[in-house]
């Protein structure tokens, strides 16, 4: 797995989060500092997963580095970002373009008492996925 972070302070925070969650940085994780729209990759990839304000800016490079059948996935918090991303994916020839809203609802579980919490975060963002056929 290769990760890119444009800002060094965010890269350090990501490193700390990974170490806190996993106890160490996994050997299979290659963390890089740079511009994800111009990644330095020698080999093609099977998945691109983005958490960026403008994921459509990565699509031209995704056409060059995704293997046929590869998946493009992005997370954005607003509807205008969905529109721009899905329009760009379709224009680039991606298929199976789909967007899902993510919701978080915690549950109270104590013995026989199992129910949703009384409060809920009703909206956290949108995940858009698309498949690349290998021809632009």
Name the residue ranges covered by the structural domains of the chain. 1-34, 39-131
CA-closest candidate to residue 57, choices 39, 32, 77: 39
Q: Give me the long-range contacts of 60-64 (CB less than 8 A, separation at least 24).
A: 60/92, 61/37, 62/92, 62/132, 63/92, 63/93, 63/132, 63/136
Distance, C-alpha 31 to centroid of its chain: 15
Q: Which fold, 39-131? A: Rossmann fold (3.40.50)
**Rounded CA separation 77/17 (Å):** 21
**Rounded CA separation 97/131 (Å):** 7
136 pLDDT exceeds 70?
A: no
Taking residues 23-30, report their average pLDDT. 90
Name the residue with tokens 């956290």.
124
73 pLDDT exceeds 80?
A: yes
Higher pLDDT, 64 or 38: 64
95 pLDDT exceeds 80?
A: yes
**Rounded CA separation 74/19 (Å):** 24
């Amino acid at each position: 797995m290769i990760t890119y972070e444009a800002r060094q302070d965010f890269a350090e925070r990501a490193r700390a989060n990974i170490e806190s969650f996993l106890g160490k940085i996994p050997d299979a994780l290659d963390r890089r500092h740079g511009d994800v729209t111009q990644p330095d990759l020698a080999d093609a990839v099977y998945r691109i997963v983005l958490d960026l304000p403008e994921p459509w800016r990565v699509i031209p490079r995704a056409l060059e580095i995704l293997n046929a059948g590869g998946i493009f996935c992005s997370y954005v918090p607003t509807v205008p970002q969905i529109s721009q991303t899905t329009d760009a994916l379709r224009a680039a020839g991606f298929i199976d373009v789909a967007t899902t809203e993510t919701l978080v609802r915690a549950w109270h579980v104590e013995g026989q008492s199992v129910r949703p919490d009384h409060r809920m975060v009703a909206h956290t963002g949108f995940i858009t996925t698309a498949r690349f056929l290998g021809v632009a």
